[in-house]
Structure 1
Amino acid sequence: METSMRLTLWPLRLLVTGHLVAVLAQPVLAGRFLTGDVDAIAVHGAVGSSLAAAGLVLVVAASVYVLAGRGRVWVAPAAVVLLLAEGVQIGAGYTRNLALHVPLGVTVVVASVLLAIWVWTPSAGRVR
């Protein structure tokens, strides 16, 4: 693996993994709220809002991976789409639009899981 690829892939891997942990906490926190833990919704909102900041950092890391590390080109646009989806998700949550919030949340979780799986495969370390 080329040095520039290694230097850009490891931060991307760590950020994607941390992002995934926060994303996976969201349905757990929502479930706790639905079972009567009213304080869990505040944590759910805080974690959701922090995901926007994490998503922005993820976009930067993905862009550096693509441009400086010569990684797969689709990763940067995928990170942007994920960030935009999280922004819409936050808006839908705060307006209590559950008809959008729940299915979009499932989509964000699935996309985050798939990205996290891919970033740890050997394919992610190959220069394009």
Structure 2
Amino acid sequence: MKTTLWLFRLSLTVHAVCVLAQPILAGLYLDGSYDALGVHSLNGSILPATGMVVGAAGLAFWIAGGAGWPLLAYGVLWLAEGFQIGMGYARVLAVHLPLGVTIVALTIWLTVWSWLPRASRRRRRRRESPRSALDRVEQS
């Protein structure tokens, strides 16, 4: 599980750097550097690809015994990023800006969580029902 956790951490960190670049690039554009809008658009188009790598690493982490909720949370975040791209190209800034803030906050939160010691804990196995425990004893 350690290797898959490291892959998940590293892919999330790379993705978070790309996500954090977005508001910086938008700010540069608003400050008069009009070329920054093209870079903002290009970086936004790269995000789904880095997101797929995060999703694959998250799936491997879950299969290896890691928590499942980060994979689910990231799946929702990845869908939100796709919607965000559409809102940006459609110039619906009333949705694009607040959704962007939400995406940045959730990405940072998930990335920070992945580097905490609790991320390396194996998920708990389901408790065995008393009946199945009794069956196992009777088979012995």
Q: Same fold (TM over 0.5)?
A: yes
**1:87: Cα distance to partner?**
0.2
Tell me the TM-score normalized by structure 1: 0.94
Moved over 6 A (4+): none
Q: Confirm or deny that 1:103 pairs with 2:114.
A: no
**1:56: Cα distance to partner?**
1.3
d(CA) in 2 for partners of 1:7, 1:41: 37
AA in 2 matched with 1:123: R
Counterparts of 1:61-76 in structure 2, within 5 Å, are 61-67=57-63, 69-76=64-71
User: Could you list the runs of 5+ residues in structure 2 that have no partner in the other structure?
Assistant: 124-140
AA in 2 matched with 1:18: V
**1:75: Cα distance to partner?**
1.1
What CA deviation, in whole Å up to 9, does each residue of 1:32-75 have, x standing for no partner? Answer: 000111100000001011001111111111111111x2101101
Q: Report the equivalent of 1:57.
A: 53
d(CA) in 1 for partners of 2:45, 2:73: 19
State whether residues 29 and 43 of structure 1, in contact with CA within 8 Å, keep that contact through their aligned partners in structure 2.
Answer: yes
Structure number with greater CO (CA < 8 Å, separation at least 6) is: 1
Q: Report the equivalent of 1:90.
A: 85
Q: Report the equivalent of 2:26.
A: 30
AA in 1 matched with 2:109: L
Output the aligned Cα RMSD: 0.6
Tell me the TM-score normalized by structure 2: 0.86
What percent of counterpart residues are identical?
A: 50
Q: Confirm or deny that 1:80 pairs with 2:65.
A: no
Aligned residues: 123
